[in-house]
Each structure stands twice: as C-alpha cells, then as structure tokens.
Amino acid sequence: MDFLSKRLKYRFFTRQDFSLFYSVFSNEQVMRYAWIDKFNNEEDIKPFFEEFLNNSDKPNKSNSYAFAVLSREDDAFIGFADIVLQSQNSFGGCGEIGYFLLPEYWGKGYATELANALLKVGFTKLNLHKMCARCDSNNLKSEGIMKKTGMTKEGELRKVRFKCGVWDDEKHYGILLDEWKARQGISTLSHALRI
C-alpha cells in the first residue's frame, strides 16, 4: 500500500529497513513523549520490529499498517508512521494514527502533511468512519498537529503514561468521516457514489 503526499512517500517496512526502524525507536529525542521508552539495543527491538512488517495489504501482527516515510525529493528516510485498526466491519471502523519523525525533520510541516495523508488513507482506502490520535499531555507540538488536521479533543486520561519516573496525562483527539469530508470539500453523496 504505497502512497504519496506533496513532499513525502510512504511504503511498508521490509526486513532490510531494520536500521531505519531502529534509528527512530532508539532516538531519545524522538521517544521523549512516546507511549513506550526508547530501545537501547538492537536485540531488544527485533521482536517489536517484526510486529510492524506488512507482507500484504492486510494488517500486520500489531493490527496496523506501518510505513517508512521518505522524502520524495531525495529518498531520505525521515521517520515512521502507522494506522492501528481499533475496530472494523462492513459499516466502517475506527483507526488510530501515529508518527515519529527524526529530529532533523522537525519544524518543517512534515508531521502535519504526514498526519493528513494517514487520515486520507484511513478514510478512503480502509473505509474507516473515525480516525483518532493521542499524545502525552506535555507534547504540545503533537497536539497542535492534531488540531491542524481538524481533529477535535475528545478527552484527557489522567496519569496513564509513565515517562522518566513520572506519570503523565494523555490527550485524545478524533475526527469523523463526515467532518473530514467537509474539510476536503467532498459531499457525502459523491463520496458514497465514488464520483
């Protein structure tokens, strides 16, 4: 399930991408607000990496679609993105987007572009009716990205993330298919008829 956005391209990870995957999940800056701690060695991360490999257009072992994110300009690896399927049936489903960019690509609008691309995939390719995201309550930049994509704050869970010896709150955001279509200027009828 390869796809493109304005400046970025997205493809499934392969076994040859282990070092790229490790460069994200072992980076202290990247993992500062993540729901898991950074990995300190390659042996520990190998089982985690295996869960995120997609061999077809079906979800991987973590029930997600995980993508290596690259620059369209020079093919440079810039980070990790995924859509986790929380539920799905013939009437729709819910998915959660996630993304981690290497620090040298922060502050350039890539995360917002990436988040918007994941929403489009979730709504148009996976036929979900709701997409969501969450972040550590201290991660104001990530929260800002959710707001820029049109997501609405749906709640805040108290003291559920343990980072650096402290329990942090977690903010939850979401957007419904009809809300996303309205932001895109897509009418409900034309989307249903695939016009």
Report whether pLDDT(32) > 90. yes
pLDDT grade, residue 186 (50/70/90)? confident
Helix ranges (H only) for the chain are 18-25, 42-51, 110-124, 140-148, 177-184, 188-192
Domain span at residue 9? 3-192
Long-range contacts of 45-51 (CB under 8 A, 24+ apart): 45/21, 46/18, 49/13, 49/18, 49/21, 49/22
Helix (H, G, I), strand (E, B) or coil at 128: coil
Which pLDDT belongs to residue 27?
A: 97
d(CA 42, CA 108): 29
Which pLDDT belongs to residue 96?
A: 98
Instruction: Assign residue 132 the CATH number of its domain.
Output: 3.40.630.30
pLDDT grade, residue 194 (50/70/90)? very low
> For the residues 135-160, what does the mean pLDDT come to?
97
pTM: 0.93
Report whether pLDDT(191) > 60. no
pLDDT grade, residue 187 (50/70/90)? low
> For the residues 90-115, what does the mean pLDDT come to?
96
- β-pairing, 166-176 vs 130-136, is antiparallel
| Spatial CB neighbours of 43, under 8 Å, sequence gap ≥ 6 | none
pLDDT more than 70, % of the chain: 95
* Helices 110-124 + 177-184 axis angle, to 10: 120
How many domains does the chain divide into?
1
| CA R_g for the chain | 17
> For the residues 151-165, what does the mean pLDDT come to?
94
Which pLDDT belongs to residue 57?
A: 86
